[in-house]
Chains A and B, each alone.
Chain A
Amino acid sequence: MASLKKVMEDEIACKEWFLPGNACCAGCGLEVALRWAMKALGPEVAMVTPASCLNVVIGLWPKTAPDFPQFNMAFAAGAAVATGFDAAFKAKAHKFPGKGWDKMTSICFAGDGGTTDIGIQGLSGAAERNSDIIYVCYDNEAYMNTGIQRSSSTPHGAVTTTTTFGKERYKKNLPAIMRAHDIPYVATCSISEPLDIYEKFKKAKSIRGTKYIHILAPCAPGWGFPSEDTIEIARMAVKTGFWILYEVENGVLTLSKKSKTLLDPSKRVPIIEYVANQKRFAGISEKTLIELQEQIDQDWENISKEIFCQQEYSK
């Protein structure tokens, strides 16, 4: 992982590209995700934001917080618009060679609803074409902008305004779906690990083709925890193994530093430590809690098997 010293030497990273005075709630996880993504990418980007919290937190017209080209867009259109940016930059690079148009990064920064639900068709299309874009899902696990309704990314057991007694189904594993598209880069991040975010976006920027980065971004009002605890909640999601940090380059999975040790089940903090501090899990039954833990253990079992196979194969 990148060291803080290395990041401090990066002039672009030392600057803020998502400016203070924006309209984020106190303790917004999304803000951390966007700030650190932009520190790695710098301003030579064209960012599209399909309907999500980000449309609002950037500031109500005429105020605006991003210090880089940023465009609001309809819910299902994110990946396609980013593809359009990229096509235009390629056309401009042809017409105006040597002017830096080939260095532009096209990026879609979408929420979990815009990614795992309404936007999945466009995203799947872009990935199948291997469009030269970075697609980011900042995942706060429900439709927070419209008032905490369940999405396919809402975890099992979580109460939302449309899952009154907790969600029966499990969280859709979108990074796995994106892996199945055989794209050059898939990564997961947590806002508790900003240096990891920095490093992964640096890498994504250097790769041609579709890059998918999924960032867990806790939401204080939506999940029901004090706003000063956002980072701690995100950290606990990693420590329990509920949220696994990894990257997949050309099909090969590597666990990231904070998750690597959790291959050993005894190193994982029990899930109850994670759910106990969130109101959305306040009424969770023992049965659901066990199911959640079983799901986590199963996910890790799968990853362990994959890593074991990799090691066997490389022998």
Chain B
Amino acid sequence: MIKPELKDFLQSEETKIIKGNVAAAYAAKSARVQVISAYPITPQTTVVEKLSEFVDGGLMPGTQYIKVESEHSVLASLVGASMAGTRTFTATSGQGLFYMYEMVHWTAGVRLPIVMAIASRGPAPPWNIWADFTDVISCRDTGWMSAFCANHQEIYDEILMSYKVCEDYDVLLPKFVAYGGFILSHTSKPVIIEDQDKVDNFLPPLPDEKGWPHIWIDPNRPLMHGNLIMPSGFYSEFRMIIHDALIKSQEKIKAVAKEFEKTFGRSYGNGLIQEYKMDDADVAMLNYGDLALQMEEAVDAVRDEGYKVGMVKLRHFRPFPVKDIVEISKKVKVLGVMDRATAFGSQTGGPVSSEVKTALHGTKGTAMVFPMINGIGGREVTLEQQKEQLKILIKINETGELPEDLLYGTLWHGKLEVD
């Protein structure tokens, strides 16, 4: 039986049953982006196809859509377009992001508020096109913000919130909005596409004729950017300012999430993390992306068996919410950190585990961190497996013993049996 509130939701005019990729395209349209540049890659393709439909169909008047010959040119052309003072958008996946890497650094160096959707996929070889966040996470040190989405609606919502954060004059940095390839990109769910006036009021206005406050293209105010700078010049200080802006963006992300909730009625925790049944939890799992959403069910099921478990959904990898992580770590005795990404050579677990361990280093009264990895290259993670994962944490808490079969202190959960 359909719940009455769900029925209303499904029948409302602005609700569409769409793929995650299409939700990303709708978000770009709602944000009135002025320049799109894209190159097709699985599983991002339906984003660029839908945008093509919008632009060719006259639904995005004035928007320029550049269909380039490679991902390197995708981001290069958006750097050009954004420098000239326009709101820009693109989307890619795995290998495409790797091919862009040079320009990924450049974008943050120019402090351009470009938003990029990432339908995340596992790095090759062997070829893999399924959910794995190693792509976006390997851009950790580029100066980009990065967000994970857990469901279709969040893709739409997060892209809107991202423009508001990125274009804030105290932030002025680009942002990835990542979601699991195929799991979210190619499945369909109801998504509310908000009223255009409401979105216009929520978002900052498009850049005026003068462009951004720090960079512009205007013959009357000729500007040069990116000259060679000697080590004795301000290079180091420019980098410090980017670092500072990225860390301070936490406050802006929180403020925007709050305002988003007030305007549109959908809550994303404090913007950086979202807690689930953490108040009385003894042990908890930190998770991100679609698996975090599924784990809510696992938490409920394990709680039904009488265990006090909780879950924390990490919404942002950069900026990394150190303060929030310390706070939630004080609530539980064991904190499992579940990565759907690899960090070769790390002896502190996956990339997020390593961040959590670093965040907690030297703190008192915080949980023991147990690093876990699952779902690599789109490997299915079932509800049963997630219940098992939570029970491993419970066992560690009860017995103080770690499971056997760890790989350098990390449990790779759900791996195939090999003779």
Contacts and interface: CB of A to CB of B under 8 A. Distances in A.
Interface in B207-243: 209, 217-219, 222-230, 233-234
A72 B76 contact: no
Nearest to A63: B227
B77 interface: yes
Interface string A73-109: 1101101111111011111101110010000101000
Interface in B64-90: 64, 66-70, 72-74, 76-86
A56 interface: yes
A74 B103 contact: yes
Interface residues of A, number: 51
B80 A48 contact: yes
A121 to B, nearest CB: 6
Nearest to B73: A80
A228 B226 CA distance: 31
B218 to A, nearest CB: 7
A111 to B, nearest CB: 15
B278 interface: no
A192 B61 CA distance: 47
B219 A45 contact: yes
A72 B229 CA distance: 12
A72 B109 CA distance: 12
A278 B154 CA distance: 65
B34 A91 contact: yes
A96 B206 CA distance: 12
Contact of A84 (B84, B227, B228, B234): B84
A91 B227 contact: no
A60 B222 contact: no
A7 B80 CA distance: 32
Given A46-B217, A84-B80, A85-B217, A91 B35 contact: yes
Interface stretch (A123-131, A162-170, A258-266, A296-304): A123-131
B37 interface: yes
Contacts of A125: 68-70, 73
A91 B222 contact: no
Contacts of A122: 69-70, 72-73, 76
Interface string B199-210: 000000010010
B67 A90 contact: no
A44 interface: yes
B106 interface: yes
Interface in A124-150: 124-125, 128-129, 131
Contact of A121 (B66, B70, B206, B226): B70
Interface in A201-215: none
Contacts of A90: 64
A87 B223 contact: no
Interface in A153-174: none
Contacts of A104: 217, 219
Contact of B81 (A64, A66, A74, A87): A87
A55 interface: yes
B62 interface: yes
Interface of B: 34-35, 37, 61-64, 66-70, 72-74, 76-86, 102-103, 106, 206, 209, 217-219, 222-230, 233-234
Given A46-B84, A64-B227, 9 more contacts: A44-B219, A71-B80, A74-B103, A80-B68, A83-B77, A84-B35, A84-B78, A91-B35, A122-B69
Interface of A: 43-46, 48, 55-56, 58-64, 66-74, 76-77, 79-85, 87-92, 94-96, 99, 104, 106, 121-122, 124-125, 128-129, 131
24 contacts: A48-B80, A58-B227, A59-B227, A63-B227, A64-B227, A69-B217, A69-B218, A72-B224, A72-B227, A72-B228, A73-B79, A73-B226, A77-B106, A80-B77, A84-B77, A84-B78, A84-B84, A88-B85, A89-B84, A91-B64, A92-B84, A92-B209, A121-B69, A124-B69
